[in-house]
Structure 1
Amino acid sequence: MSRNPSKIYMQHVANLREIELAIRHTSRLARAEIASKDPQQSLRSLLRLYSFLVGAWAETRLRKLVHEEFGFSDFERETIQKKSSQLEQWQETVDLAFRKHHSVKKAPLDERSLGVAHAARRAALQDVLLNELRILIEIRNKLAHGQWVYPFNNEGTAVESDKYLLINQENLQSLQFKFALAGHLADAVHDLVVSPQTFERDFEDHFRKLFQVRTNLVTKDYRKYEAGLVSSREKARAARKSSS
């Protein structure tokens, strides 16, 4: 089947590419600062920028997904876009994708309508949304309003202590893992709604990657990551000196 993507779809693709380029540049700068032990004290700002960009990527990736040529109908797109928050739009996108895949119009999405395996798959995607992706979205919203150190409540009267901890405890490694999680989730939903055969073939791989990244978030030691970057830089400097 030949492709004829819409203009708005191609515009979302262009936006996504630009954001991904910015993410790569920011990641490179942050790694360089870590490797050099942050002499300019710029790492914290770079991490805020990286976090903001990953949140922007998640929103733009959703827009691209919703406008896939062989994906949702106009009515389904409108249903998604009526949701008041980005998290709710992601949740609705996942559920509509499963409804399309299983031809379930109104029945509850559970083991009876989806089968045991697909009900578990839906639960896995929704769990990632409610945890890691929700955090990315909430942090991004605070950063977009200039709250790079102290995130305020909606009334602007007090600092939200939970958001303060979320913003200030992130490091480059954890943000990279969350970016990877968002990517695996988006790929799984894309295959579900656009290419059912690909979903059946590849979802276990998507799920395995999701599980591994979530495990890495908990188990990987940032200090080892940091020490590895510092060591690599020192070895490279020593090699240049010895060859000069």
Structure 2
Amino acid sequence: MAIISSPHFPVPSERRVMDERTVLDMWNQVLVEAFSVRYNVQRSKVPVGLPYTSASYFSGMKSVLDDWMEPLINTRNCLAHGQWIVAFNEQRNSVNQDRTKRLNSLTLWHLRLQRNLLKHLERLVFDLTATQYAFERDFDRHWANLKAAQSRISADKSKEWELLLQRRHLRGKAHIRRNYRRLIDAGLI
């Protein structure tokens, strides 16, 4: 919403985005509208009417939407509708096994990395719509960061991260006890 309501995003494009039925469709429409405006190509000609490099940018960003956004949006919707343990299908008349499995494997670690991935995608789309030179100039850096987030999510080191947090917590408690003992020994408490 921040991207499409910015002064850099044309009002007719904003209306077309808002007319889409689903959040994923809105993201796809933002991509089409942004590439259309930036490269002065008719919306119906995106991506085939784009120059090769621009079409490659579009293809890469579209793949992120297709591969990462749809499962993330579905998981978010399950949680928002109270389906914390078991996820249902769209009609809510049977269990959706894939969504339930995804929901049960979700951890804070995954959420943080997915948020990171979304920030990189958002930055790419913002640069595409709002900047004159930054999109092409910074694309490789943003893309590398986005791909790194995808790799970290796929590697799934959430268990190691949880153990690290537990060790930090225990070290912190020991540090507090040690400092408290020193204050008592020094007569300050």
Q: Establish whether TM, by shorter chain, passes 0.5.
A: yes
Deviation at 1:107, TM superposition (A): 5.2
Q: Is the Cα contact below 8 Å between 2:36 and 2:42 reproduced in 1?
A: yes
Deviation at 1:156, TM superposition (A): 2.0
Q: Normalising by structure 1, what TM-score?
A: 0.70
Aligned to 1:69: 7
Change over 3 Å in CA distance of 1:220–1:144 after alignment to 2: closer
Q: Is the Cα contact below 8 Å between 1:133 and 1:178 reproduced in 2?
A: no
Aligned to 2:81: 145
Could you report, residue by residue, the CA deviation over 1:27-80 in whole angstroms, capped at 9, with x for unpaired residues? xxxxxxxxxxxxxxxxxxxxxxxxxxxxxxxxxxxx111110122x22111111
Aligned counterpart for 2:132 among listed residues 188, 193, 196: 196
Aligned counterpart for 1:89 among listed residues 10, 23, 26: 26
Aligned to 2:110: 174
Change over 3 Å in CA distance of 1:213–1:196 after alignment to 2: same
Counterpart check, 1:131 vs 2:62: no
Deviation at 1:227, TM superposition (A): 1.2
RMSD: 1.5
| Paired residues, number | 180
Deviation at 1:106, TM superposition (A): 4.5
Could you report, residue by residue, the CA deviation over 1:6-25 in whole angstroms, capped at 9, with x for unpaired residues? xxxxxxxxxxxxxxxxxxxx
**Larger Rg belongs to:** 2
Deviation at 1:113, TM superposition (A): 2.8
Could you report, residue by residue, the CA deviation over 1:142-191 in whole angstroms, capped at 9, with x for unpaired residues? 22222111121222211111111111111111111111111111111011
Counterpart check, 1:228 vs 2:164: yes
Aligned to 1:214: 150
Aligned to 1:238: 174
Deviation at 1:138, TM superposition (A): 0.9
Moved over 6 A (4+): none
Q: Normalising by structure 2, what TM-score?
A: 0.89
Structure 2 unmatched runs, 5+: 182-189
Deviation at 1:242, TM superposition (A): 2.3
Q: Is the Cα contact below 8 Å between 2:109 and 2:158 reproduced in 1?
A: yes
Q: Distance in 1 between matches of 2:43 and 2:175?
A: 65
Deviation at 1:128, TM superposition (A): 1.1
Q: Distance in 1 between matches of 2:68 and 2:112?
A: 12
Aligned to 1:79: 16
Residues 27-38 of structure 1: pairs in structure 2 closer than 5 A: none
Secondary structure at 2:45 match in 1: coil
Structure 1 unmatched runs, 5+: 1-62
Q: Distance in 2 between matches of 1:178 and 1:88?
A: 19
Letter in structure 1 aligned against 2:40 = S
**Which fold has the larger relative contact order, with Cα–Cα distance below 8 Å and residues 6 or more apart in sequence?**
1
Q: Percent of aligned positions with the same letter in both sequences?
A: 23
Q: Distance in 2 between matches of 1:102 and 1:190?
A: 15
Letter in structure 2 aligned against 1:236 = G
> Which is worse superposed, 168-177 or 113-122?
113-122
Q: Is the Cα contact below 8 Å between 1:187 and 1:206 reproduced in 2?
A: yes
Q: Distance in 1 between matches of 2:38 and 2:18?
A: 20
